[in-house]
Chain A
């Protein structure tokens, strides 16, 4: 039993994972000590989520990696082993059920055993006692949907941890503050600290660097699937951490003010949604503007909000002639906005439909709704477009889902060029696209802009966005944190501003942004 006390709660050695020949993780070591909050940070695609998913048993690691839990061997890549080892996961979607009461949600996490009669009264009392042991003022009797985001997260945490006096488990928190306000985050941090103070161990995955400094004792940085460093937080400052994350030194620079222009193709004012807050931007005719940021910063949402496919809570969007757009997707399309979404499989086209039908859908040739639609004429026209974009195959009757990602993207772009628009929205235009197709897509984007349309590209790929855009807006925590253009526009800076550095605003406090 002596080993159980001296051995760390969790030690991982030489963990690797490859997806389709690409390393997501390479030889990563991680040691989690008793009574510490250990932060895990890195850019999108650095391997954080892969690591968490292997711990939770969603992915199998490559052979060669090993792990121990309090000195006992721990089988990676099995959800049963994770449960036995007392690993508890709080993911962004909390796996709690809105329709049930708080107490019922807590009870779901425990074993019902061989009880025939579930006593709601007893369940509720036990839940209330559990909350009390953490000092949480949550009423166990109310339906869960009446709770705020922070209390929901805490409910999920309390459910995962069980009773506070015996925190033998390891708590893994994956971006828990993504949807919380600063005040709510602070309350969550208090709970995390109380878990640590009672001897529990917490692995804390986050994009937000100030949280690392607020909360964590040690931090492990991943970059391109490798562990770059594991350091006590006290030995790092903000800039040092950013440099570890992006792997390069940051240079100072002085941005030049952009020239004033009056030929706006699209103007958005104060657009807010689920994550995005008060986003205002202008796209000029002939300009390619990028929006970048980390996952969860609002970059995935902003185009949908402007196009009208996600509900806006406030803000207006206007196109060149002053028409407001975004009431609904069809209204935006008619006002001359084209949108190529990131999720091609689900939103880009009809998987079971032919390329011909997918291409022609936004603009069906006959003018009247009941006029003759000639498949033969459509086929001839579609084939022409497919040839122009080098889509393989050029067979207009092939199904959309049978194409590779790059070819699907070309079809979606061709469909909108055929329709014609004053503003083009592209969301992750080259995600899952091979190199050759990427080039063709970039060429199409610049041709569209050269023809006088405004182009707005939202992408998490800093490299890409810095190379194809005239101007880039970097989003952080739902807001536009920085605008970069000209010489200041480099992938490093896009990344640096995405994770939150180089901006004096960070000194105003956690997540605070005027």
Chain B
């Protein structure tokens, strides 16, 4: 009687031998749009926890040999540090929903709208002070996150669909506020928030470092973070262990809104003139970094420092290519190739391994 599978209320006639690892097939994970499934597939790449560091070093060496005069300069270093800081904050923001097993596809649009709203509050109507404008902007971006949270955790819409819808709402709102024209320039004190250097390091990179440290603390070293990861890893099992998974998902969405707001303020301050079209370009790099980052340092889990590493790895490659003489589209091209390349390789390896294992077990059964 023990040979038979334990009955369960939900799984229909599962005849899985206990002790065997249930494998999410790569295809299935990708089709269902389940971030945790995709991460487990990516983890099977077994890239090595620090392979990103080696790859980064390799990219640096290649460009150092190729274009030594322009690449190995402090200007290039600072430009990489500062241009990637905003994408980095956004990438860390999207880690929170990813950790709880949801996507926030409206994060980049939320960031773009935050930049526009922050700028408009200072230059139109009451001409608010930068501090007030920043506080109001971040409150708005968190409210957008809370709206997403209600849709996903409250009503139960798939996060993919819900945030895609929100994204479109935000796009329309941006068009109403921006009228297609640029907002700016902003007060001196606002612009100076991002153009300073501390000990020769661009201050935006330090903002990223601070945001990353706080996020790492919350996700990796507090009960809240542990429950968030539990929700993403297996929501049903987490629920049975007493985790309030709905709260985790809602919280993840709100924090993502918060991060998007911060990124938006940084974007407005560093460009000094914003319009409604700035957001969308940041979506893919942020997700590419989050997924690549999940193969690094703590493989199999969306983690903060892996994401920071991925951001700078991608950023270094992009700036190198630009220095070699690539056009602006090189950025998108490089990010796209990196994302498809990483996930595609994982899927192919998964398929190949699956076939090999099948062949091996079939052989064993014959013997």
Size category of the binding interface on chain B: 35 or more
Question: Mask for A330-366, Cβ within 8 A of B = 1, else 0?
Answer: 1011100001011111111111110001001110101
Give every chain B residue within 8 A of A328 (Cβ-Cβ).
Answer: 239, 244
Give every chain B residue within 8 A of A351 (Cβ-Cβ).
Answer: 21-22, 234
Instruction: Report yes or no: A352 in contact with B233, Cβ–Cβ below 8 A.
Output: yes
A332 and B242 CA atoms in complex are apart in Å by 8
* Cβ 8 A contact of B224, one of A24, A370, A419: A370
Q: Which chain A residues in 409-433 approach chain B with CB under 8 Å? A: 415, 419, 427-428, 430-433
Give every chain A residue within 8 A of B225 (Cβ-Cβ).
Answer: 373
Give every chain B residue within 8 A of A369 (Cβ-Cβ).
Answer: 222-224
Instruction: Report yes or no: A460 in contact with B1, Cβ–Cβ below 8 A.
Output: yes
A318 interfacial contact with B, CB 8 Å: no
Measured CB to CB, the nearest residue on chain A to B230 is A361
Chain A interface: which of B10-18, B60-68, B144-152, B198-206?
Answer: B10-18
B3 interfacial contact with A, CB 8 Å: yes
Size category of the binding interface on chain A: 35 or more
Give every chain A residue within 8 A of B238 (Cβ-Cβ).
Answer: 350, 361
B75 interfacial contact with A, CB 8 Å: no
Instruction: Report yes or no: A431 in contact with B11, Cβ–Cβ below 8 A.
Output: no
Give every chain B residue within 8 A of A300 (Cβ-Cβ).
Answer: 7-9
Instruction: Report yes or no: A364 in contact with B226, Cβ–Cβ below 8 A.
Output: yes
A334 and B241 CA atoms in complex are apart in Å by 10
Instruction: Report yes or no: B226 in contact with A346, Cβ–Cβ below 8 A.
Output: no
Give every chain B residue within 8 A of A428 (Cβ-Cβ).
Answer: 6-7
Instruction: Report yes or no: A405 in contact with B7, Cβ–Cβ below 8 A.
Output: no
B19 interfacial contact with A, CB 8 Å: yes
Give every chain A residue within 8 A of B17 (Cβ-Cβ).
Answer: 20, 432
Give every chain A residue within 8 A of B240 (Cβ-Cβ).
Answer: 307, 309, 329, 339, 341, 347-348
Contacts A351-B22, A361-B241 known; A431 to B6 CB distance under 8 Å? yes
Which of A24, A352, A368 counts the most B-chain CB atoms under 10 A from its CB? A352
Give every chain B residue within 8 A of A415 (Cβ-Cβ).
Answer: 241
* Cβ 8 A contact of B6, one of A343, A368, A370: A343
A307 and B14 CA atoms in complex are apart in Å by 22
Give every chain A residue within 8 A of B276 (Cβ-Cβ).
Answer: none
Measured CB to CB, the nearest residue on chain A to B43 is A352
Measured CB to CB, the nearest residue on chain A to B300 is A352
Question: Mask for A305-338, Cβ within 8 A of B = 1, else 0?
Answer: 0010110000000000000000011101110000
Give every chain B residue within 8 A of A330 (Cβ-Cβ).
Answer: 239, 242-244
Question: Mask for A186-210, Cβ within 8 A of B = 1, else 0?
Answer: 0000000000000000000000000
Give every chain B residue within 8 A of A460 (Cβ-Cβ).
Answer: 1, 7
A24 and B3 CA atoms in complex are apart in Å by 9
Measured CB to CB, the nearest residue on chain B to A342 is B6
Question: Mask for B23-61, Cβ within 8 A of A = 1, else 0?
Answer: 000000000000000001001000000000000000000
Give every chain A residue within 8 A of B161 (Cβ-Cβ).
Answer: none
A22 and B2 CA atoms in complex are apart in Å by 10
A396 and B222 CA atoms in complex are apart in Å by 19
Which of A295, A300, A339, A364 counts the most B-chain CB atoms under 10 A from its CB? A364
A347 and B227 CA atoms in complex are apart in Å by 15
Give every chain B residue within 8 A of A332 (Cβ-Cβ).
Answer: 242
A460 and B4 CA atoms in complex are apart in Å by 11
Question: Mask for A24-41, Cβ within 8 A of B = 1, else 0?
Answer: 100000000000000000
Give every chain B residue within 8 A of A253 (Cβ-Cβ).
Answer: none
* Cβ 8 A contact of B18, one of A24, A93, A345, A353: A345
A304 interfacial contact with B, CB 8 Å: yes
Give every chain A residue within 8 A of B227 (Cβ-Cβ).
Answer: 361, 364
Measured CB to CB, the nearest residue on chain B to A303 is B9
Instruction: Report yes or no: A373 in contact with B22, Cβ–Cβ below 8 A.
Output: no
Give every chain A residue within 8 A of B2 (Cβ-Cβ).
Answer: 430-433, 461
Closest beta carbon of chain A to B245's beta carbon, Å:
8
Question: Mask for B208-247, Cβ within 8 A of A = 1, else 0?
Answer: 0000000000100111111100100110111111111000
Instruction: Report yes or no: A346 in contact with B237, Cβ–Cβ below 8 A.
Output: yes
Give every chain B residue within 8 A of A347 (Cβ-Cβ).
Answer: 8, 234, 236-237, 240
Residues of B within 8 A of A (CB): 1-14, 16-22, 40, 43, 218, 221-227, 230, 233-234, 236-244, 300
Known A24-B3, A408-B19, A431-B2; further 9 A-B contacts with Cβ < 8 A? A341-B240, A343-B11, A344-B6, A368-B223, A370-B222, A408-B18, A428-B7, A431-B4, A460-B1
Ranked nearest first, the 4 interchain pairs of A and B with the lowest CB-CB distance are: A333-B242, A405-B18, A432-B18, A431-B6
